Amino acid sequence: MAANAGHKIRNAKLVLLGDVGTGKSSLVLRFVKGQFVEFQESTIGAAFFSQTLAVNDETVKFEIWDTAGQERYHSLAPMYYRGAAAAIVVYDITNAASFTRAKKWVQELQAQGNPNTIMALAGNKADMVEARQVPAEEAKTYAQENGLFFMETSAKTAINVNDVFHEIAKRLLQGQQAQDTPAGMVLNQRPAERMVSSSSCCS
């Protein structure tokens, strides 16, 4: 995960959206610091993190915006997803309402956000299968229909966490190659090309 020196570093703004208590902050902290706390405090306003990720011989520097989940703070969200190259919409597999909410976020991003934004759908708390309320198949189908890539993750056990970010990085770079941009792109202003294919990463 260390930054790969000697190559171009791509900056990419990434935003996490999703219902209250789905584990947005936990996913970020697992990815950025390798940590997990059982009772992660609620996010007030927004938090910002950065983390670099090497993909083959290239490096992506993620500028991650972690947002507050409550609907009440919805009016602040556009400030954070505006200009994002990528978004991870998070729901909790043990909470059906959070999946409904995730779909609303996807709709909003499709309507308001940049069409080129790479969107991932993360079904978090995958370690708690015994309490599952959202079947993986249902989420996978929804993701395919809406051009997202989908993974079930667990910030607690670290399952698929780095993978989500890695996949986003890969797609960002692919998009860039397809676009054949001559110099290092500034993704937070002009996001990557639209993904040609959208597929589930979770089988």
Partner 1 sequence: MRREEASAAAAAAAEAGTPRSPDLHDLSDDSDYAAAAAASSSHSAMRSDLVDQGSGETAKVDVVYEKERVTIHPTQYGSGRISGKLRLYLQQGSLFVSWEPNEGVDSSSSNSATMEIEKYRNLYTIKALPLSDVRFIRKHTPTFGFEYIIIVLSSGLAFPPFYFYNGGLRELFATLKKHVFIIRSDDDPNVFLVNDFQDPLQKSLSSLELPGVATVANAMSRQNSLSFTSSVDGARHGSDAKHGASSSMTEFVSKKNHSSNDPGRDLSIQVLEKFSLVTKFARDTTSSLFRENHSSSGRTYGRQQQEYVLDNRANDKYKDQQITPDKGSLLSDSMKSDKILAWGKPRGQPLSVDEWRSFLDPEGRVMDSKALREKVFYGGIDHVLRKEVWKFLLGYHEYDSTYAEREYLSVMKRTEYEAIKSQWKSISSTQAKRFTKFRERKGLIDKDVVRTDRSVPYYEGDDNQNVLVLRDILLTYSFYNFDLGYCQGMSDFLAPILYVMEDESESFWCFAILMERLGANFNRDQNGMHAQLLALSKLVELLDPQLHNYFQKNDCLNYFFCFRWVLIQFKREFSFDQIMLLWEVLWTHYWSEHFHLYLCVAILKRYRTRIIGEQMDFDTLLKFINELSGEINLDRAIQDAEALCEQAGPNGAACIPPGTPPSMPIETDGGLYVQEDEVM
Interface contacts to partner 1, rule CB under 8 A: 20-21, 39-42, 44-50, 63, 65, 68-76, 79, 97
DSSP 8-state secondary structure symbol assigned to residue 6? T
Please tell me the distance from the alpha carbon of residue 119 to that of residue 109, in angstroms, as a whole number: 9
Q: How near is the Cβ of 43 to partner 1 at its closest, in Å?
A: 8
- Our CB check for partner 1 shows the closer of 93 and 202 to be 93
For 107: left if phi > 0, alpha if psi spans -120 to 50, otherwise beta; the answer is alpha
Give the count of beta carbons closer than 10 Å to the beta carbon of residue 183.
6
- Our CB check for partner 1 shows the closer of 65 and 81 to be 65
For 45: left if phi > 0, alpha if psi spans -120 to 50, otherwise beta; the answer is left
- Our CB check for partner 1 shows the closer of 46 and 158 to be 46
Q: How near is the Cβ of 157 to partner 1 at its closest, in Å?
A: 19
Q: How near is the Cβ of 123 to partner 1 at its closest, in Å?
A: 17
Q: Which residues pair with 52 in a beta bridge?
A: 61
- Our CB check for partner 1 shows the closer of 48 and 131 to be 48
Please tell me the distance from the alpha carbon of residue 160 to that of residue 18, in angstroms, as a whole number: 18
Q: How near is the Cβ of 104 to partner 1 at its closest, in Å?
A: 8
Q: How near is the Cβ of 203 to partner 1 at its closest, in Å?
A: 31
Please tell me the distance from the alpha carbon of residue 52 to that of residue 188, in angstroms, as a whole number: 15
Please tell me the distance from the alpha carbon of residue 194 to that of residue 143, in angstroms, as a whole number: 15
Identity of the residue numbered 81: Y
Helix axes 24-33, 161-179, angle to 10 degrees: 80
- Our CB check for partner 1 shows the closer of 106 and 195 to be 106
- Our CB check for partner 1 shows the closer of 79 and 129 to be 79
Q: How near is the Cβ of 71 to partner 1 at its closest, in Å?
A: 5
